[in-house]
Amino acid sequence: MSRIPHGNNCGMNKCVNVIGSYRCEKTLSAILGGTLSSGLFLLAVGMWLLCKVHRKRKAVNQKKKFFKRNGGLLLQQQTHVLQCSVNRTKLFSSVRMLGAYFLEAMRNDRLHDILDARIKEECDHEEVFAVAKLARRCLSLNSEYRPTMRDVFIELDHMQSKGKSTQIQAQKGEEHDHIHISISESMSLSYTSPDIVVENSSFSLDSKPLMPHKTR
């Protein structure tokens, strides 16, 4: 076995003669070179993949950060708006149920049953019934019978003015009932005349006519 310096294609590899031919065997340097080049290639590919994954993760983190700053706030606002809409719907449903209950009570002449005890005691029943009739008109589904805000204001102002005038008249009547015409039961009179002198004479509405006394 001898190495042939020329006439083969082994290059830096080891040339081994065989019968009628030769074969090339890789030397240690060739093996190391191939392994090193493969390692470098794999390292380059790994670095590229690592950079790609890092960029992707960085982009995801930035998206999360932007979502927390903007998208999260928008989502929170949207959730709040939805919650408010639900609350308004519930409130509107409650108001509709209360209005239907009031109309049913008015239709069956049971207004006194749904009034608060304080209103029953402190308010005038005629005024309460007038306000209830106005409220029933406001709940009418027919716009022709439903009053405007101006009409409601005028009617309420008229009710208030009427209530004040009634109260003033009642107060005047009470004052008139308590008026007493007081006249002093006695009055002192002193006057002289050529023939009559009356001193410290007393009289009242129920007393007898005064009789003058002649002087001596």
Full residue range of the structural domain in which residue 154 is found: 96-167
Task: Give yes or no for residue 198 having a pLDDT over 50.
Answer: no
Whether 69 is covered by a domain: the verdict is no
CA contacts within 13 A on the Cβ side of 105: 17
C-alpha 109/C-alpha 106 separation (Å) is: 5
pLDDT at 85: 61
Whether 191 is covered by a domain: the verdict is no
Whether 80 is covered by a domain: the verdict is no
Q: How confident is the model at residue 118 (pLDDT cuts 50, 70, 90)?
A: confident
Whether 141 is covered by a domain: the verdict is yes
Task: Give yes or no for residue 32 having a pLDDT over 60.
Answer: yes
C-alpha 63/C-alpha 60 separation (Å) is: 5
Neighbours of 24 (CB within 10 A): 15
Whether 182 is covered by a domain: the verdict is no
pLDDT at 190: 45
Whether 206 is covered by a domain: the verdict is no
Least confident of 50-64, 117-131, 161-175: 161-175
Single residue among 125, 148, 167 that ends a domain in this structure: 167
The verdict on 100 and 157 lying in the same domain is: yes
The verdict on 158 and 102 lying in the same domain is: yes
pLDDT at 91: 53
Domain total in the chain? 2
Q: Let me know: does 11 contact 33? Beta carbons within 8 Å.
A: no
Whether 88 is covered by a domain: the verdict is no
Neighbours of 111 (CB within 10 A): 16
Whether 76 is covered by a domain: the verdict is no
Three-class DSSP category at 5: coil
Task: Give yes or no for residue 126 having a pLDDT over 70.
Answer: yes
